Amino acid sequence: SVERDLSHLDTVSLLAMASNATYTVPGQTPYKDLNATASWIHHFSGLLTWNNSLYFDNFLAQDTAETQRLFWRANSGLEMIVSPRLKTHAAFGWVFAPSYATATDVSAAPLSSGLFQTGSGNLPVFDVGLTYQLTKTASAALSFNRAVTPTITGQLQEGTGVQGGITNQVNSYSSYSLTSSFSHLNGGIGSSASDLVTATAGYSYRFTKELRGTASYTFTTRHDETGVARSNTFLVSLSQAFTLLP
């Protein structure tokens, strides 16, 4: 990732990631994926900020049809400090996703053999919410959104949800958070609609100015036509930040 301040009012950044997945278990589809996010942040004043981003994802499945799925998402929104305690945000955007078979021998690779159905679709998305400063160190947040996101297998998942949580800054080095969310996920190809409820507890500690560690626990419940599924996830990460000088 690269971030650059064009001026005291404008900041641009670029984040890119590439992956190549292979499987030793039969029945799984290997794939290659490339995604990138470009963003531009403009500060009209100390109270109003304009955020713009463009996300692109290129997913190539190594199936019989050599299916390729592209995904574009453009977003634009405002963040406003209403009072010393209250901050709001509202963002709106659009997604566009075409999918097609790239196999040279179409007769040997019918469209039905691909990982995705061919064609294209588009959909509006949004995210609105607010953050309230409860105390000097604690804040509460609530948001409502409609989103379309690529899954790890390349499928697109559309859903509408509400999220809320509390974050507390213990000191200059550590903080913890408690969050919960409810999402209704529309059924995709070969799947039914489902409701997803999650609850997460997280802790973050800054060892140095550049080195930070985080730990979290997430409990998830999924309801669909097949029944109820539950999962527990523990995650520990360590991140290192660095600055590139021009």
Q: pLDDT digits over 40-52, tens only?
A: 999 999 999 999 9
**122, 124, 204: which is closest to 169 by C-alpha?**
204
DSSP code, position 155:
-
**CA separation for the pair 22, 61 (Å, rounded):** 11
Instruction: List phi, psi (to 5°) of 86.
Output: -115, 130
What is the average per-residue pLDDT within 69-75? 93
pLDDT recorded at residue 88: 97
* Whether residue 222 has pLDDT greater than 60: yes
Q: At CB < 8 A and 24+ separation, what contacts does 102-108 make?
A: 102/60, 102/65, 102/66, 102/67, 102/68, 103/64, 103/65, 103/66, 108/64
What is the average per-residue pLDDT within 107-120? 53
Q: What is the mean pLDDT of the chain?
A: 88
* Position 164, amino acid: G
pLDDT tier at 109 (50, 70, 90 boundaries)? Answer: very low
**149, 164, 63: which is closest to 112 by C-alpha?**
63
**170, 163, 162, 164: which is closest to 135 by C-alpha?**
170
Tell me the residue ranges of DSSP E strands in 24-85: 31-43, 48-61, 67-81
